[in-house]
Amino acid sequence: MAKVSAWISAARPRTLPLSVAGILVGAATAAIENSYNNLVFWLAILTTLVLQILSNFANDYGDGVKGTDNHERLGPQRALQSGALTDKVLKKGIIVTVFICLLSALALIYSAFGKEDFLSSVFFFFLGVASIAAAIKYTVGNSAYGYRGLGDLFVFIFFGLVSVIGSNYLMTKSIDFWLILPATSIGLLSSAVLNLNNMRDENSDRNANKNTLVVMLGKVKAKIYHFSLIIIAFLSLMIYGVYKFENQLQFLCFIGFVPLFIHLRKVANYSHPQSLDPELKKVALSTFAIAILMLITQIFNF
């Protein structure tokens, strides 16, 4: 039973709602074009959840074996750090999760394209492989990009652009260039969650030679960067809504920005990094709320 609890903890359930936000927005924008596909939607949700769990396992393993997760770290204890799982066991879990992720991705691709569109199937297969590689290489290996200040960029690309535009294309089989706006919004909000995490862990990351963007920028500039992420996310989605939303009901998704703007006051005034830990959940759940409200209001608009 303790092992089960350790694996659940390593999967970090509180990160999962954020991971599906891009899929929800992609489905909502597909619904606007009357191209929503329920089977594709749920398989995309499943694939994304498994990818996020894989990323969490890999992050636990990578930071653990490098010694980044130590007594200085302020967040919840990781499975490897606490000794709940060994590095060998966690590595086996990563391999099994990769296999599950590939199966889920193949089912998703087949449900979207069948046997008719071979080129799109091949493209999305390689995109899936790239997503798996990105999930692992964030902290694993000597060239881990999370240790070189590139984590924010990869989160923006995969949680925003790939998630929103990719899931939309799986349903619509076309690309609407307006999608860059909601994809940017979700990508920036996802990067804001990572930035908060790195602001909380700034001291321990610096001492462990983990050069996150926050370590490179410093506390003051990291705050400015954080404000920019959320404000630009708001403006991007607002511009999209003005041009694409069909009625006022669809603007209800902007309710999710209210706690985000309140959150900015706490970021501006924080003194101890530990006080940022509860803010991670607030930003993640607010992003999820924005995404789910976009989908729900579009469904009611059918």
Q: What angle do CA 219, 155, 12 make, to 5 degrees?
A: 90
pLDDT at residue 82 in the model: 62
pLDDT at residue 6 in the model: 75
Q: Which domains does the chain have, with CATH numbers?
A: 16-300 (1.10.600)
Rounded to whole angstroms, how far apart are CA atoms 57 and 61?
6
pLDDT averaged per 10 residues, the chain (length 302): 72 88 95 90 96 87 63 57 73 91 95 87 92 84 77 91 96 93 97 91 81 88 94 97 88 95 90 83 95 89 57
pLDDT at residue 236 in the model: 97
What pTM value is reported for the model?
0.90
Please state the separation of Cα 169 from the chain's center in Å: 19
Provide the b/e sequence for 55-91 (b: ≥16 CB within 10 Å): bbbbbbbbbbebebbeeebeeeebbbbeebbeeebbb
pLDDT at residue 22 in the model: 96
Of the candidates 263, 265, 212, 202, the residue with the CA atom closest to the CA atom of residue 74:
202
Both tokens of 219, joined, read 């506390």
pLDDT at residue 242 in the model: 93
Phi, psi dihedral angles at 96 (to 5 degrees): -60, -40
Q: Long-range contacts: 68-74, Cβ < 8 Å, 24+?
A: 68/139, 68/204, 68/205, 68/208, 68/210, 70/204, 70/208, 72/203, 72/204, 72/207, 72/208, 73/201, 73/204, 74/200, 74/201, 74/204, 74/273, 74/274, 74/277
Of the candidates 163, 149, 223, 201, the residue with the CA atom closest to the CA atom of residue 27:
163
pLDDT at residue 163 in the model: 96
Using DSSP's 3-state secondary structure scheme, residue 210 falls into: coil
